[in-house]
């Protein structure tokens, strides 16, 4: 919303009836927030927007127009984080048109109504800015949540001094592999571990793509001086690997996590013996 509205009638109405207009705007907008914001929170938010809109309409103040867009963007990002829908967010802006129209009709002044038409179109533009900003913010929220879920679903645990375990559950795609690799390498730097066990017991199927992802992770760990073992090679997975002609080369593979841990302990020179019950 840049440039003042042609004429002076509407700017005067916005200024002289500010209290009534703001109160009605808050009332209309409150119907769309469904109790997720208090009346005071909504009033504070819309009061700031009203002041910027009033300045922009009256004088075409470019600074005010920039501040208005920034305030709308912040409102959209906040609403996205709070779980509002894009239509609910935009409706809060569009509700101003209804509040102003009621005052324009009450005035009975045709000159004010003519200026309102242009004002209405500009409020529509503001609503569009709000909608677009909301969508971008919501996409970012979803991306952040997905990244957090990936990190939570890819723990790297210490199994023994110098031995890390990476239990993999679910599908291993490119994005997941990247998270696994980064998390593992960070832990290797922190702990200086010489061995890492990638346990795929929870991976439903292993195909050529999954095997490639595993190999990339192993190669990255090797560059850090860490030897990797792949555990969880069930009979059906072993058959699939053979049928697909997948080669793990000199990478050690074990049927269970226990077997893999025993192997790495042996490679570390650690002997673990069972103590007979007295």
Q: Is the pLDDT of residue 265 over 50?
A: yes
What is residue 248's three-state secondary structure?
coil
Which range, of 96-100, 124-128, 158-162, 262-266, averages the lowest pLDDT? 124-128
Q: Is the pLDDT of residue 160 over 60?
A: yes
pLDDT at 266: 92
Measured CA to CA, the distance from residue 162 to residue 93 in angstroms comes to 58
* Region of residue 170 (left: phi > 0; alpha: psi -120 to 50; beta: else): left
Task: Name the more confident of 140 and 158.
Answer: 158
User: What's the pTM?
Assistant: 0.50
Measured CA to CA, the distance from residue 49 to residue 213 in angstroms comes to 50
Please count the residues of the chain: 278
12-39: pLDDT as tens digits: 999 999 999 999 999 999 887 776 788 8
Which among 240, 214, 242 is positioned nearest to 228, based on CA atoms?
A: 214
Q: Is the pLDDT of residue 146 over 80?
A: no
DSSP state letter for 256? S
Task: Name the more confident of 161 and 110.
Answer: 161
**% of the chain at pLDDT higher than 70:** 91
56-78: pLDDT as tens digits: 888 777 888 889 888 988 888 88
Segment 261-271 shows an average pLDDT of 90
186-244: pLDDT as tens digits: 999 999 999 999 999 988 888 888 888 889 999 999 999 999 999 999 898 888 888 88
92-133: pLDDT as tens digits: 888 999 999 999 998 888 888 888 988 998 888 888 888 888
Residue that has been written with the tokens 């009346």 in this structure: 39
């Amino acid at each position: 919303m840049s440039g003042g509205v042609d004429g002076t009638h509407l700017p005067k109405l916005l200024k002289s009836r500010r209290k009534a207009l703001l109160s009605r705007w808050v009332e209309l907008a409150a119907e769309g927030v469904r109790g997720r914001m208090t009346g005071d929170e909504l009033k504070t938010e819309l009061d700031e927007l009203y002041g910027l809109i009033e300045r922009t309409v009256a004088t075409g103040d470019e600074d005010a127009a920039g501040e208005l867009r920034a305030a709308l963007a912040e409102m959209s990002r906040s609403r996205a984080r709070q779980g509002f829908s894009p239509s609910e967010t935009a409706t809060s802006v569009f509700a101003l048109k209804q509040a102003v129209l009621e005052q324009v009709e009450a005035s009975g002044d045709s000159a004010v109504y003519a200026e309102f038409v242009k004002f209405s179109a500009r409020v529509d533009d503001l609503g569009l800015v709000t909608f677009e900003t909301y969508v971008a913010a919501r996409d970012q929220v979803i991306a952040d949540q997905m990244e957090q879920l990936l990190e939570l679903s890819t723990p790297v645990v210490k199994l023994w001094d110098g031995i890390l375990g990476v239990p993999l559950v679910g599908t291993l795609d490119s994005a997941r592999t990247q998270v696994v690799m980064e998390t593992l390498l960070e832990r290797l730097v922190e702990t200086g571990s010489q061995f890492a066990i990638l346990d795929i017991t929870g991976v439903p199927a292993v195909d050529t793509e999954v095997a490639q992802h595993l190999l990339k992770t192993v190669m990255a760990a090797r560059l850090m001086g860490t030897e990797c073992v792949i555990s969880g090679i069930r009979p059906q997975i072993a058959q699939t690997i053979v049928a697909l002609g997948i080669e793990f080369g000199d990478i050690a593979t074990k049927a269970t996590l226990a077997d893999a841990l025993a192997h790495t302990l042996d490679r570390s020179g650690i002997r673990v013996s069972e103590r007979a019950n007295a």
